[in-house]
């Protein structure tokens, strides 16, 4: 490969030899880099295959099982968290997020207590108070629990004015133009 070749200039009687080793060496370095990259890919795929066989390639459904498998792969194969997550098809944020577990009965009791203490509060304000007590959940869950427990806010009844002799308001027109005057005031 590293042979010299002859390149003819304008006059064939006087050839100039050009050393081809530089271009051949450059091509050889490129091929070596490409070969090293392919070896890394093959090594990565082999390791992935070994890890999948190690966990028996059974379906890992729940998040707790997936987190356990990621920890196992990290310990057994010495891979990083992102690599173990990539092998089983789970995002790293899911791996790192720790669920806020709480007792549902305790949550319902707190919602009952707050609803009794603040009867005019809706689910949004109750949700804010529940979050201040350390529970992490969405508003929709508070709304569903309140509806299921029958803790909905009762709509305020509109106060109706009672007319009669004791209130001082007239129940009927005392003279002919009294009703017309009230109608005119409503229109204006």
Q: Which of 109, 105, 68, 108 is nearest to 85 (CA)?
A: 68
Does 57 or 33 have the greater pLDDT score?
33
Number of domains in the chain: 2
Q: What tokens appear for 33 in the block? A: 């880099």
Q: Residue 76 domain-assigned?
A: yes
Kindly state the tokens that stand for 168: 């001082």
- As a whole number of angstroms, the distance between CA 43 and CA 47 comes to 6
Residue ranges making up the domain that contains 129: 104-149
For residue range 108-152, list pLDDT tens digits in order: 999 999 999 998 899 999 999 999 998 888 999 999 999 999 988
For 3-50, what is each residue's pLDDT tens digit? 455 555 555 555 544 456 788 888 999 999 999 999 999 988 888 888
CA distance 95 to 79: 15
Is 68 a domain residue?
Answer: yes
Same domain, 43 and 84: yes
**Two tokens, residue 13:** 């009687």
Q: Does the pLDDT at position 186 exceed 70?
A: no
Clarify whether residues 93 and 118 are in a common domain. no
Same domain, residue pair 92 and 43: yes
Angle at 81 between CA 69 and CA 38, to 5 degrees: 105
Q: Are residues 84 and 112 in the same domain?
A: no
HSE on the CB side for 165, CA within 13 Å? 0
83 and 113 in a single domain? The answer is: no
**Hey, what's the torsion of the CAs at 166, 171, 172, 174, to 10 degrees?**
30
Burial class (CB in 10 A: 0-12, 13-18, 19+), 125: middle
Least trusted range by pLDDT, from 28-32, 81-85, 102-106, 174-178: 174-178
174 lies in some domain = no
* 75 lies in the same domain as 108: no
* Cβ partners under 8 Å of residue 21, min gap 6: 2
User: Which of 74, 99, 124 is the last residue in one of the domains?
Assistant: 99
Domain's final residue, options 99, 114, 138:
99
């Amino acid at each position: 490969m590293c042979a010299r070749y002859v390149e003819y200039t304008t006059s064939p009687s006087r050839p100039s030899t050009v050393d081809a080793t530089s271009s051949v060496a450059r091509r050889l370095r490129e091929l070596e880099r490409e070969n090293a990259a392919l070896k890394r890919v093959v090594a990565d795929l082999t390791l992935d295959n070994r890890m999948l066989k190690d966990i028996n390639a059974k379906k890992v459904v729940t998040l707790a099982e997936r987190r356990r498998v990621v920890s196992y792969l990290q310990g057994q194969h010495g891979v990083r968290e992102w690599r173990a997550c990539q092998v089983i098809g789970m995002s790293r944020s899911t791996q790192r997020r720790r669920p806020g577990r709480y007792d549902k009965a305790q949550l319902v009791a707190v919602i009952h207590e707050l609803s009794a203490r603040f009867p005019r509060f809706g689910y949004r304000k109750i949700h804010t108070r529940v979050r201040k007590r350390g529970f992490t959940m969405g508003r929709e869950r508070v709304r569903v629990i309140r509806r299921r427990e029958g803790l909905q806010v009762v709509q305020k009844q509109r106060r109706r004015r009672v007319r009669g002799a004791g209130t001082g308001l007239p129940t009927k027109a005392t003279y002919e133009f009294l009703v017309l005057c009230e109608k005119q005031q409503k229109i204006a």
